[in-house]
Structure 1
Amino acid sequence: MTQIKNDLFLKALRGETVERPPVWMMRQAGRYLPEFMEIKAKYDFFTRCQTPELASEITVQPIRRYGMDAAILFSDILVIPQAMNIDVEMKAGIGPWLPDPIQKPSDLDRVIVPDINDTLGYVMDAIDMTKEKLNNEIPLIGFAGSPWTILCYCVEGQGSKNFAKAKEFCFTEPEAAHQLLQKITDTTIAYLKQKVKHGVNAVQVFDSWGGMLSPTDYQEFSWQYIQQIIDSLKDETHVIAFGKGCWFALNEMSKSGASALGVDWTCSARNARYLTGGNITLQGNFDPSRLLSPPAEIKKMVTQMIREFGKDKYIVNLGHGILPNIPIENAGAFVEAVKEYKEEA
């Protein structure tokens, strides 16, 4: 592996002592940036994901503007079901739309575990192009959705406030649910391994809807599958596990072999450190809506957040993805606050 010039992010993942914590933002390559909106005006969502030139350009846009310590590949968690023979569209005003969702066990007959190169080769091409553009300046993160979060969309057919249909499917057809979760898990492992081969320096698993489940159901329908992913990848790369609303599982997650755990803004730094035993790297957990505060206030809050988590074994990030209505100078203030951070003597 070629040496990465700014390896702060990798040092934090290894738990090493750093001058300041690294910073990046979930969804940093996206809709709050005017340069992204220019591309969006010309190409539809999945065209942007499936065209390596566009995906790599979008990935590096925030880096050019703000100089984060890590880039995250522009893509989407729903490229996995697409590769598995489940149609996914992106509808204006609705978001993800699956015209033919999984509703009964027999629907699983058409769901495949694909050959990653055949179905998702365009993602690997985007990684190759992005690595070239980044020129070993900073690390590149690859990602996937958790199997449970992917199942939520596959069964519900679109986003939801409570994913009631997805839960109903799991609780009334548990055998079929586990079969689908395993197929998603197998596909995801193959997909992330391929990303590592193409040079991503870490991977993140997003369990966006894990918090919809009770702690017991979380173990059964989500965590055991994330654990399989961690087990398959932890010897090859750093794995970050992020479960939104899953503070109740932080203790178990801390024993998983993941290099870091994402924390959302509903869990304080103190609780997160307590629940994880204080010895794993944590990432988070600034409320994305707080980026609407004035820049000077954002800087104060970020500094306070670093003090609470501690500068080591910590990656500064948001508690979920950046919102589309964030002023660009506010996003800038967030990154600057971290770069200006000095530990009090």
Structure 2
Amino acid sequence: MIFPRALLSIALLATSSAFAPASSHPRSALLCIHSTTEAAAVQEDVASNAGDRDILIRAARGEQVDRTPVWLMRQAGRYMSDFRQYSDKYPFRERSETPSMAIELSLQCHRAYGMDGIIMFSDILTPLPTLGIEFDVVKGIGPVISTEVRNDEDVAKLADVADVDFDKTLPFIREILGTLSKEAEEANTSLIGFVGAPFTLASYTIEGKSSKHCLRTKKMMMADDDGSSTAMATFLDKLATMIGNYGCHQIECGAQVIQVFESWAHQLSPKQFEQFAKPAAQKAIKIIKEKYPDVPVIYFANGGSSYLECQRDMGADMIAVDWSVDMAEARKILGPDIPISGNVDPTILFGTKEQIEEAVRECIDKAGGPGKHLLNLGHGVMQGTPEEAVGWLVDECKRYKGKDA
């Protein structure tokens, strides 16, 4: 299936992106406009699908829509050969902080598959330097954070959140989102921004890298718990304010919906979530919602399905759930009034076309039927995923009308 709204974006990119390579994807390779007649036909098709422009946003607000919208976490990634033309050549921060590259990488997947949202190519760690926390993303290793934060003194040395100027410290964000906002409008789709939740950013910083047990972080949490330190609570509060303000900044730059990623929720017991992660995430979400009440916020706790009941009052408009919980059970736990997103197992994309389509239909049915939730994976698209499999998932979601149709 070729998505007409993506064609206009390609026509723009053909003249505007100095970094854009020729697409090697079998679907996107066909996406080009050869004549004025075809361009007019494209515009007519876009007009006839005008509701697609904000279908994801309306679903995130909890409105029932005429079909189930879809986007995928890590939808821009190494599973795409076009993406690897950049990732094999340029370091991560150069890609994510060079507007022309970040814009192209954000758009590749939408041009190929026509998801209902374009998400900015960036990282949850991107705003850490605003507080004086330096990081890098090393190929084959992952994030490496060089600034040490282990105690009250270390936290006190961090920059004052009141002094953070995102345009000064992260000037590329406004250019990236500003351009993507125009591209999303031309492509008749939504623009998604995102932030990392405070606990996840705190843990990355404290551990200095990915960690199997988060032992340093948990020692700091225990020190707070017994009253011998306030470092963890202070650090989380500082991060919550910065992240909330960063989410507002993304909205001011063009983002229409914000997803909050609690990527390390699997490291937390329900008690630890309630005591540390939840209040900090709630504060960040509250900052965003108080300033921009009409912009939907989605909260996703990866590995947090074991305490999904604790997430009913996050203050977010929608809760995204991981793949480890049955969608029908998740809907039951959250209740009928909380909009939900998720949660197809990413590994199903290594299956057959029939298995992928069945998984999509099952997820939609268990969420209440077409138009009753926002389809996503229960985690990100995995490296090595066959490119055509992503297209099968997106196509089936857009096509499916329900059991009785």
TM over 0.5: yes
Q: What is the TM-score of this pair, normalised by structure 2?
A: 0.81
Moved more, 159-168 or 318-327: 159-168
1:262 equivalenced with 2:324 (yes/no) = no
Determine if contact 2:62/2:318 at 8 Å carries over to the other structure. no
| Matched residue, 2:281 | 226
Write the deviation string for residues 244-272 of structure 1: whole angstroms up to 9, x where unpaired: 12124433422333111010011111221
Equivalent position amino acid for 1:119 in 2: T
Paired with 1:81 and 1:6, the residues of 2 have a C-alpha distance of 32
Partner of 2:127, secondary structure, is helix
1:331 equivalenced with 2:331 (yes/no) = no
Q: CA deviation at 1:314?
A: 0.5
Paired with 2:66 and 2:183, the residues of 1 have a C-alpha distance of 26
Paired with 1:152 and 1:25, the residues of 2 have a C-alpha distance of 25
Write the deviation string for residues 261-297 of structure 1: whole angstroms up to 9, x where unpaired: 0100111112211111121111111111221112221
Determine if contact 1:296/1:333 at 8 Å carries over to the other structure. no
Paired with 1:199 and 1:99, the residues of 2 have a C-alpha distance of 31
Equivalent position amino acid for 2:143 in 1: P
| Matched residue, 2:113 | 66
| Matched residue, 1:160 | 211
Residue of structure 1 aligned with 2:180, choices 89, 112, 130: 130
1:15 equivalenced with 2:65 (yes/no) = no
Paired with 2:84 and 2:350, the residues of 1 have a C-alpha distance of 19
Determine if contact 2:357/2:396 at 8 Å carries over to the other structure. yes
Residue of structure 1 aligned with 2:230, choices 171, 175, 179: 175
1:321 equivalenced with 2:380 (yes/no) = yes
Partner of 2:170, secondary structure, is helix
Determine if contact 2:177/2:255 at 8 Å carries over to the other structure. yes
Partner of 1:42, secondary structure, is coil
| Matched residue, 1:49 | 96
Alignment of 1:1-345 (within 5 A): 5-112=52-159, 113=161, 114-136=164-186, 137-173=188-224, 174-234=229-289, 235-310=293-368, 311-345=370-404
Q: CA deviation at 1:306?
A: 0.8
Determine if contact 2:52/2:116 at 8 Å carries over to the other structure. no
Paired with 2:61 and 2:245, the residues of 1 have a C-alpha distance of 24
Paired with 2:371 and 2:397, the residues of 1 have a C-alpha distance of 13
Determine if contact 1:192/1:203 at 8 Å carries over to the other structure. yes
Equivalent position amino acid for 2:138 in 1: K
Q: CA deviation at 1:236?
A: 4.4
Identity among equivalent positions (%) equals 33
Paired with 1:252 and 1:41, the residues of 2 have a C-alpha distance of 41
Q: CA deviation at 1:5?
A: 5.0
Partner of 1:278, secondary structure, is coil
Root-mean-square deviation (CA, aligned residues, Å) is 1.6
Partner of 2:340, secondary structure, is strand
Q: CA deviation at 1:328?
A: 0.1
Paired with 1:169 and 1:256, the residues of 2 have a C-alpha distance of 24
Paired with 2:242 and 2:322, the residues of 1 have a C-alpha distance of 27
Q: CA deviation at 1:177?
A: 0.7
Task: Return the index of the structure with the highest Cα Rg.
Answer: 2
Paired with 2:75 and 2:181, the residues of 1 have a C-alpha distance of 17
Partner of 1:240, secondary structure, is strand
Write the deviation string for residues 201-252 of structure 1: whole angstroms up to 9, x where unpaired: 1000000112211111111210101111222222141000000121244334
**Displaced runs of 4 or more, over 3 A:** none
Q: Would the alpha carbon gap of residues 98 and 27 (structure 1) be closer, same or farther in structure 2, given more than 3 Å must change?
A: same
Name stretches of at least 5 consecutive residues in structure 1 with no aligned partner: none
Q: CA deviation at 1:4?
A: 7.2
| Matched residue, 2:14 | none
Paired with 1:6 and 1:341, the residues of 2 have a C-alpha distance of 19
Write the deviation string for residues 28-63 of structure 1: whole angstroms up to 9, x where unpaired: 012111111112233210011111111111111100
Equivalent position amino acid for 2:376 in 1: N
Q: Would the alpha carbon gap of residues 103 and 270 (structure 1) be closer, same or farther in structure 2, given more than 3 Å must change?
A: same
Moved more, 66-75 or 133-142: 133-142
Equivalent position amino acid for 2:214 in 1: F
Paired with 1:115 and 1:109, the residues of 2 have a C-alpha distance of 19
Paired with 1:331 and 1:271, the residues of 2 have a C-alpha distance of 25
Determine if contact 1:4/1:139 at 8 Å carries over to the other structure. no
Q: Would the alpha carbon gap of residues 329 and 9 (structure 1) be closer, same or farther in structure 2, given more than 3 Å must change?
A: same
Determine if contact 1:57/1:130 at 8 Å carries over to the other structure. no
Partner of 1:76, secondary structure, is coil
Q: What is the TM-score of this pair, normalised by structure 1?
A: 0.95
Paired with 1:312 and 1:205, the residues of 2 have a C-alpha distance of 22
Q: CA deviation at 1:317?
A: 0.3
